Amino acid sequence: MLILAVCGSLQQKSGNLALLQQAVSLAPAGVEVRLSDDLRALPHFDPDLEQHGQLAQVARWRNAVAESAALLIACPEYGHSLPGALKNGIDWLIGSGELERKVVAITASVNVAGRGERGLSALRQTLNAVSARIVGGAGVVRGPGFEADLTALLALLTAEARKPDVPPTAEFF
């Protein structure tokens, strides 16, 4: 099983990148966690850029997401929301469908429990636009329980990704 790990921060020494690097080493047996740096290369979202065909960097991003069984997104909070680079990456996927009903674990590397909640909430709201199957949603606190909490999140993500996708039932009012 392939889990694509996406860091919402482009900063090279990001705590969220460190979280994802740790996830690579904590992956359960039979699971590969692969770090993606595709957000860095994406142009600002503009469908007009693809009038004459798909852009290579956008195609690479879309293929990486499509080929994965699930995503693990570590998202810092910027200005009470999600980072622009991450939002831009999601925008490139909304119309093409690679994220539709995809299992996505969302978290953040934080120094204190409760930090980053607004950023994760904004990310959850954005992912709801594609009916992503979201797991997690709380920050992982750096400290003694970090590895155990991250291992638990990976187990939850893996278990959810192994479940068959059952589309939501229509609700009638």
Report the pLDDT averaged over residues 3-31. 97
18-72 pLDDT tens trace: 999 999 999 999 999 999 999 999 999 999 999 999 999 999 999 999 999 999 9
In a domain, 170, yes or no: no
Q: Is residue 65 part of a domain?
A: yes
Any domain includes 31:
yes
Contacts of 152 (CB under 8 A, 6+ apart): none
Tell me, yes or no, whether 167 lies in a domain. no
Q: What is the per-residue pLDDT across 69-123, written as a single tens digit (0 to 9) for each?
A: 999 999 999 999 999 999 999 999 999 999 999 999 999 999 999 999 999 999 9
Find out whether 94 and 130 touch, Cβ atoms under 8 Å.
yes
92 within some domain: yes
Q: Is residue 144 part of a domain?
A: yes
Whether the predicted model's global pTM rises above the 0.85 cut: yes
Which CATH number covers residue 146? 3.40.50.360
Picking from 100, 99, 104, the residue whose alpha carbon sits closest to that of residue 75 is 104
Q: How many domains does the chain have?
A: 1
Would 168 be classed as within a structural domain? no
Give the pLDDT score at 64. Answer: 98
- Give 148-160 pLDDT, tens digit per residue: 999 999 999 999 9
Stretch (H or E) spanning 126: helix 117-128
| pLDDT score for 170 | 54
User: Considering only CA atoms, which of 140, 78, 154 is closest in space to residue 111?
Assistant: 140
